[in-house]
Structure 1
């Protein structure tokens, strides 16, 4: 009897447990369903576009809290009026005849097509900066490659006025040129700062006419990326020291100023250096000719219309262009000599001739500068002035020698000196 009662109790409790479980599941499902319904309602309500509209608007322009007279703005304003666009005009041959089936013919139907005229058209545009005003004249510095090949030059002032310009002088080795214009409309003249005092990371502005005068007086901001880069400049491959910056410099900026935050010109932008070196468009890498070099060159151009530099009176080739066999059999160089320039000819009565240099001598050092190629030799030589002396180190028949060069001869660099030759 007791066993029957105990079995009944066990079944009763089992039923209670089962009922409880079902009740919990049903209750949880109902609660979950209710919760999902509430959440769905909230999502629909929050994403539904409200009815009606605010026809009165209500948005307004607030007072500009930015500093409109910051350091960069002040620097730009102080120089902007001195920055110009430079227009290179060149002759274009044009026939006066009419276009026929087989080309140009005269308008009267004859076969005489010799009638033609030369018309000046814009060949290229660049930038420049007015740095001097003297009496009725003002002077503009720009790049040599901006004015190269011109038959006429024009300058567009910051106020949009176009004036004619004369070429005072140009230097292909440093890619600099000086123009003269009428000073009647010139109100602002830029000043030069000491480029030896600049430091990497320093803020700078580049001003000019990127892509032409349509975008004249465009200003871009960056920093000095490097103070002293060595690149090949001009058309003769002469190595020169330039400033590297990440300020945006594009075609048309050539000749424009690179300025510090005091508004001083610390360099002249030269896209030619960037493109010649890289061979393609590179973002964030631009170059400028240091102001100290600029001042030295433009002062000579104003005074003489040309740059006078020492000349050795030789023709040469880079040692790297000579085969290893010829270096051993012809030049008889020791294996430790791998860089330098080989003299291929010596002009009679020249500086090199007077010093005793001969054909097949290999120059490895000039003064304290190691000579690795023709560009480095010219760069080292151009540090001297006519009338000074320099020590040259060279190899002949495998033996090292030294000689003293008395730099009494000169080579004139003018706007027409653009041929690329390994002569000096």
Structure 2
């Protein structure tokens, strides 16, 4: 077959035309694909946006519809109603409920009878003021109004609250302050009675029965801990123990002089609570708060004088201003305080005698003197009861004997037992 130059040129042109058309078609297809992808991406974004917006709108509508019914069911609303007044202002209605418990009722009954007592003492002249003695507040405590008679109201408190006072001032529930008189005080029981004008006194304490208290029974302490800034403070607890005996150093010489019978409670009793009220759930006075063991390692250990023990002392203080007790007429020291050498050489005691009371001095003309007791006699028995120390001696003498009674005493003298009979006299006469 013969090929001419014109035919070859035409064929070449046709091939190029076909190639160009195919390339244009491919480019058009790719362009369409790019456009399609772009369109798909834009459509997805719009779809997501519309879908999210729709969810928000639906959620808001549901919340708006449910809010009124949920408001009364939310914890802590306690029947409070939430009312929308406008777009920027929401008010909450409150429902007040007055709570009345047995403790609240008891406190309401007794608290007005509890007062504050300020002890004002005389201060000696100092370098800057040598002209005259002045007075200043020495301390404060609490007291309980227990009786109104005529123009006087009587208050029981602790001896140590009023001891050494030049003046006494009572703060009442309404904050008013009135002068008080010391009617009588007794160091051995740590009780005192003072009086104030009865004008305006509306509440007096009701005495309960401390003998019927039970361990675990609820009690309430009312007083002024740490001073009058905390006037009328209330603490609650239980009777932790009955018939407790707590040794006391009365003259602060480091030697225990007495053992006080008390109620133990875990109701908080602090400085300033002394003389305040311990009441039962009926609002009755069952104890006079007296002391607390003050130690960093001790908590919840407070004490009160049982009201049944306090009443005879209160009555005697009110009538005579003092508690008269029988006396032997001796000075004494516990045998345990005497070194072993003197027990053997001076007192000549048998080795088995390790407890008792040594007579260091006999008052002339006293019951002991009349009965023939001598210095260095060691008392070991009274009325058939063993006497192991001065506290036991005083307990027997003050709690079981009266003036005029006969006391049978057994002593060791120069290693031998000697018996004597004493007719007890008034301690005030010694």
> TM-score, normalised on structure 2?
0.73
How many angstroms does 1:369 deviate by?
4.2
Residue deviations 1:310-346 (CA, integer Å, cap 9, x gap): 1110111110111122212222222222111101121
Shift of 1:365: 2.5
- Highest Rg: 1 or 2? 2
Tell me the distance in 2 between the aligned counterparts of 1:164 and 1:358.
49
- Residue 94 (structure 1) shift: 5.8
Tell me by how many angstroms 1:264 deviates: 1.4
Deviation at 1:93, TM superposition (A): 4.6
Alignment of structure 1 residues 21-100 onto 2, 5 Å: 61=94, 64=97, 68-93=99-124
Question: In 2 relative to 1, CA 234–303 (structure 1 residues): closer, same or farther, beyond 3 Å?
Answer: farther
Secondary structure of residue in 2 paired with 1:382: helix
Establish whether residue 308 from structure 1 lines up as the match of residue 324 from structure 2: yes
Establish whether residue 170 from structure 1 lines up as the match of residue 190 from structure 2: no
CA deviation profile, 1:273-294 (whole Å, cap 9, x unmatched): x34xx66673101111111221
Alpha-carbon deviations, 1:232-276, whole Å to 9, x = none?
Answer: 3461522221111110001100000111111111111112xx34x
**Partner residue, 1:391:** 408
Q: How many residues align?
A: 339
CA drift of 1:185 comes to 1.5
Q: CA RMSD in A?
A: 2.5
1:280–1:337 distance in 2 versus 1, CA, 3 Å: farther
Question: Who is 2:48 aligned against?
Answer: none
The corresponding residue for 2:225 is 210
CA contact (8 A) 1:173 1:234 kept: no
Larger deviation: 315-324 or 192-201?
192-201
Give the 5 Å matches for 1:17-416. 61=94, 64=97, 68-93=99-124, 104=128, 114=130, 116-233=131-248, 235-236=250-251, 237-271=257-291, 274-275=292-293, 282-367=298-383, 369-383=385-399, 384-407=401-424, 409-412=425-428
8 Å CA contact 1:224–1:244 kept in 2: the answer is yes
Unaligned runs of at least 5 residues, structure 1: 1-53, 96-102, 105-112, 414-423
Show CA shifts across 1:363-384 (max 9, x none): 1232354322222211221012
| SS of aligned partner of 1:185 | coil
- Describe the superposition over 1:159-180 as per-residue Cα deviations: whole angstroms up to 9, x where unpaired: 2111110001111111111101
2: CA distance, partners of 1:61 / 1:334: 82
Classify 1:198/1:245 alpha carbon distance in 2 versus 1 (closer, same or farther; 3 Å). Answer: same
The verdict on how the C-alpha distance between 1:139 and 1:234 changes in structure 2, with shifts beyond 3 A counting, is farther
Decide whether the 8 Å contact of 1:129 with 1:256 is kept in 2: yes
Contact 1:310 1:382 in 2 (8 A): yes
Name stretches of at least 5 consecutive residues in structure 2 with no aligned partner.
1-86, 252-256
